[in-house]
Chains A and B, each alone.
Chain A
Amino acid sequence: TQLLEQSPQFLSIQEGENLTVYCNSSSVFSSLQWYRQEPGEGPVLLVTVVTGGEVKKLKRLTFQFGDARKDSSLHITAAQPGDTGLYLCAGASGNQFYFGTGTSLTVIP
């Protein structure tokens, strides 16, 4: 059972386009993290969101935590080839830590 569902699973876009990745659950999370992973490397933490309704910006990336703390989104503006990678949401619910199903993003120059 996957507690955190991400959509889309795969995304291929042209450089300069905008995109949004969604991370949804029916459970409440105390916080959610977003990671980016490049091929052959470990996941790198991008952000942690902890408050319902919170919005955090990291250059061209905007992260939002849902009001009910059950979902989150990642919006990338003007995507660049360097944004290519596997994006993972993750968080703790109850007494376990869960990873999302992953979104593989390819940005074509």
Chain B
Amino acid sequence: DTEVTQTPKHLVMGMTNKKSLKCEQHMGHRAMYWYKQKAKKPPELMFVYSYEKLSINESVPSRFSPECPNSSLLNLHLHALQPEDSALYLCASSLRVLNTIYFGEGSWLTVV
């Protein structure tokens, strides 16, 4: 059972909508991640937070905006997305950066 919880599991949004994906972990991990994944492909890193500070931003478009309110929570704010942004968005955490990563169940995003 995953101890990384993501909500919502499914999200359909229009290109002018503003929505957020939420992630929570209570394992005491100090590194949290957002990944984007297309079908049968490996996850692609978007953002890394280490000790609540953004440490890596992999050239992600500004229509994706991460937020880490505290050590247990991670949000991904979505605005003016494109249909090609439709994918599975995975939140993950690890004790520290470069340690073993544990994933949530993912949020399926469809942009119409």
Q: Which residues of A contact B (CB under 8 A)?
A: 30-31, 33, 35, 40-45, 48, 86, 88, 90, 92, 95-97, 99-102, 104
Contact = CB atoms under 8 A, between A and B. Distances in A.
B100 A45 contact: yes
Nearest to A48: B100
Interface residues of B, number: 22
B2 A95 contact: no
Given A42-B105, A44-B2, 9 more contacts: A30-B98, A31-B100, A44-B103, A45-B102, A88-B43, A95-B98, A97-B45, A97-B98, A100-B42
Contacts of B88: 40, 42
A86 B90 CA distance: 15
B90 A42 contact: yes
A52 B94 CA distance: 23
A79 B87 CA distance: 29
Contacts of A45: 100-103
A92 B90 contact: no
Contacts of B99: 92
B100 A42 contact: no
Contact of A33 (B4, B40, B42, B100): B100
B66 interface: no
A29 to B, nearest CB: 11
Contacts of B90: 42-43
Given A99-B42, A99-B43, A101-B42, A41 B102 contact: no
Nearest to B92: A42
A74 B108 CA distance: 29
Contact of B40 (A43, A97, A100, A102): A102
Contact of B101 (A33, A40, A86, A104): A33
Query: Nearest 4 pairs between A and B by C-beta?
Result: A42-B103, A99-B42, A92-B98, A42-B106
Contacts of B45: 97
A75 B102 CA distance: 22
